[in-house]
A = this chain, B = another copy of it.
Amino acid sequence: MARIKREQDRDEKRDEIVAVARVLFIEEGYEATSISRLASTAGVAPNTIYWYFKDKDEVLVAVLDAELSARMSEYLALPAMSPAERLLWVANNLERVSRLVGTVHSRLAQSPVINTWHERFHALSEEMLRLELQQAGIAPNKIEALVKISVFTIEGLLAHPLPEEQKRAICNALVAN
């Protein structure tokens, strides 16, 4: 019992740090948020972070997981839509978090934890998109390439913001054929 109580405390504190990191990483960026800043915002000493996380990348992974599950429930609660509309929704919805997407891509070569998170995330996204396109009656032999192109396009839209008009045109063009 006591042990369980302890572990609850530990997880709560960890979650608190993740909550703070989530705001800072998203609003100011991962690189711009130093461990010191994160720590002082969370009300602890810098090295305390290292009691709960191996390194800064592990904090990022925790933030990514938190953010992903939040977004995922929003997505699953979405009403019926055409694939193009869903794509546009995703592109727009991920925009708030585009800084993090860039950070993941830039760190995945150096950080194994981020690399494996990234792989899992792509596998998940592509699986969902594949299903979506199948249900929309896209020719099966076109689906694999289209899945990749769509994922790349969403990433591109996040990295290079465009006016709503063009985003819509692009999403429509993608699923038109």
Shortest C-beta distance, A165 to chain B (Å), equals: 11
Q: Which residues of B contact A146 (CB under 8 A)?
A: 173
Shortest C-beta distance, A158 to chain B (Å), equals: 10
Taken together as a complex, chains A and B put the C-alpha atoms of A160 and B14 apart, in Å, by 32
Instruction: Select the stretch in A15-23, A53-61, A64-72, A148-156 that faces chain B.
Output: A148-156
Query: 1/0 contact trace for A160-173 toward B, CB 8 Å?
Result: 10100010011011
B152 near A157 with CB under 8 A, answer yes
Taken together as a complex, chains A and B put the C-alpha atoms of A123 and B109 apart, in Å, by 28
Q: Which residues of B contact A110 (CB under 8 A)?
A: 31
Q: Which residues of B contact A103 (CB under 8 A)?
A: 106
A155 near B159 with CB under 8 A, answer yes
Beyond A102-B106, A151-B156, A152-B160, 7 additional pairs, beta carbon < 8 A: A99-B109, A145-B170, A148-B170, A149-B174, A153-B153, A155-B156, A155-B159
Chain A: residues with Cβ within 8 Å of the partner, total of 33
Q: Which residues of B contact A172 (CB under 8 A)?
A: 145
Shortest C-beta distance, A63 to chain B (Å), equals: 17
Question: A73 on the interface (CB 8 Å rule)?
Answer: no
B109 near A106 with CB under 8 A, answer no
Shortest C-beta distance, A103 to chain B (Å), equals: 7
* A170-B149 contact in complex given A106-B103, A106-B106, A109-B29, C-beta closer than 8 Å: yes
Taken together as a complex, chains A and B put the C-alpha atoms of A156 and B177 apart, in Å, by 21
Q: Which residues of B contact A144 (CB under 8 A)?
A: 166, 169
Which residue on B lies nearest to A173, using beta carbons? B145
A148 near B162 with CB under 8 A, answer yes
Question: A5 on the interface (CB 8 Å rule)?
Answer: no
